Structure 1
Amino acid sequence: GDLTQANSAFNEAVTYYRALSRKHAKTEIGYVSSNFLSQSYVNLKKYEEAGVVIEDTIDTYPSMYTYRQQLPAMELIYAQVLKNPRKAIAVYKKVLEKTKDARLAKLMQARIDLLQKALGS
């Protein structure tokens, strides 16, 4: 039915965007392809894979633009969907170590604190 067709299309998209993001790594095309790749995984409900792609995108394209776009998606997937706030905290801490932007650092520390509070630690 329709769901089977949709899943087939998303699987084709995964193959296509994975290849494109690798071929054009560290370029704008690579970044956009990575976004579409993670979204395709979300559409397939393959959240672990989506999280890995988002983490890779954050590592490969370290910029304020990337952080603003990818960190909320990362937290949503790890902390909310996969119920693994510790993973979200680890990603935030990794980015926090690299950032030189005080405002971003403050925001990330607030997210870390909130997630840790929810964990009871």
Structure 2
Amino acid sequence: LTRIAGEDVGTYLINKGTLVANGNYTLDFKTNNLEITPASLTVTADTQSKTYGSVDPTLTYKVLGLVNAEKESDVLVGSLTRIAGEDVGTYLINKGTLVANGNYTMTFTRSNLTITPANLTVTADA
């Protein structure tokens, strides 16, 4: 048997290919389909921190579940975002515009950006 070529998510017809019956039989072949469903992809935001008053670090993530030797750049587009705020505290890192292509179903795990206090030195005048 053979099937229509393709590795992306979708339905592919299975054909008779080179299958034949010997002279004692008449072959009545019924086609069917091969269904390729999305692979599961897990994206987890990395925990980040910065000091009050400094520039935000790049929001990064880890990916599990890539198949067919694909790279993150082949599968994911967009970027993470975080809850707005610049005061000392903890801010949730969200999925933002990050999406996976149609060959994957993406599960996203959020993390936090923590803003820590800046050092302040006060020296009394003589």
TM bin, normalised by shorter chain, reads under 0.3
Structure (1 or 2) with the greater helix fraction: 1
Judging by fraction of residues, say which structure has more strand. Answer: 2
User: Looking at CA atoms only, which structure, 1 or 2, has the larger radius of gyration?
Assistant: 2
Q: Which has the higher contact order (CA 8 A, sep 6+)?
A: 2
